[in-house]
A and B are shown apart, each in its own frame.
Chain A
Amino acid sequence: MKLKTLTSMVVALSAGALLAACQVDKAPDSVSGYTFATKDTQAMQDDNFSNPAMLWVGIGEEEWIKKDGSAGKSCASCHGGAKPGSDEEGMYAIDPVLDTSGGATKISMKGVATKYPIFDKASKKPMVLEERINLCRTKNMKAKAWKWESDQMMGTTMLVKMQSRGMPIMSTADQASSPLNGAWKAGMKFFNERRGQMDMACKNCHDDYPGTRIRANMLTQAQVNGFPTFRLKWQKPGTIHRRYAGCNKMVRAKHFKRGSNEYKNLEVYMTWRSRGLKVETPAVRN
């Protein structure tokens, strides 16, 4: 009897420990922008057939297998998968740490996007997914870099991120040991710094008043887990950097270029803020 109780206690304890170890780091009280969207918008996102962003994912699928550049390669030449009409299970990434044999160490593309932005050792700066795709294009494919907001770039980014749909965003950028910690600090400063004629910080709306209406618009927590996202107001998908610029202009503040250090640092901080939320790309928002 006693032994039985002890055994069950040990089992319960170890199960608890296991559960704790598996638990994903999640920011307290964080919820996706999905929560604040209208029912119609949520329904649009939930059904791939009615999600308008899927048209761009289709562009991404076409680009994935298209040979471009003087090296005569497509994305699929190295990463497999993404054949139109078939599923994209076959997509894989090359593990940058394990790989010593020029592309032989394949890892699943699932989950790869949850770790972005990564730290780029060469530039000692954060690298966002758009930049990683362009690095592949210029260095490996010897092709021209895509523009930040081009249909090809957004389509391909969404296609890659979609492989991680439903998986939690990971970030440890808040830790001093993380190479992204400097960018995280700069991004946090940006988020909390009042700016523009209206003298507002990102924080003033998105930390202090989520779920509250500004005229007809519902303020959200400004989570990044759905980007690139199809925004009904834009009538097309846009990157998180486009959203940053829009917000900056709205408070009549100076905005920065897509891909600027300012916005990349902000993306590092805001990705950490969204840690634990599931990737929804391509999301639909009002």
Chain B
Amino acid sequence: MKQSTRSALLVTARTLVAAGCVAVVVAARSTVGWSNLAIMLVALAGLLAVLASYNRRFR
């Protein structure tokens, strides 16, 4: 696979995961409960993981 294609796919995947995490946070808020709060915190952790994965190659 070409390097440019690979990086484009990586960027798309990261964007989708980040958007998915935000969507999960918004959706999980509609029901009150510890399980939904846990889902929201996992989604927040997912966002931070995406950020860390983007930042990893610059360390």
A binds B: no
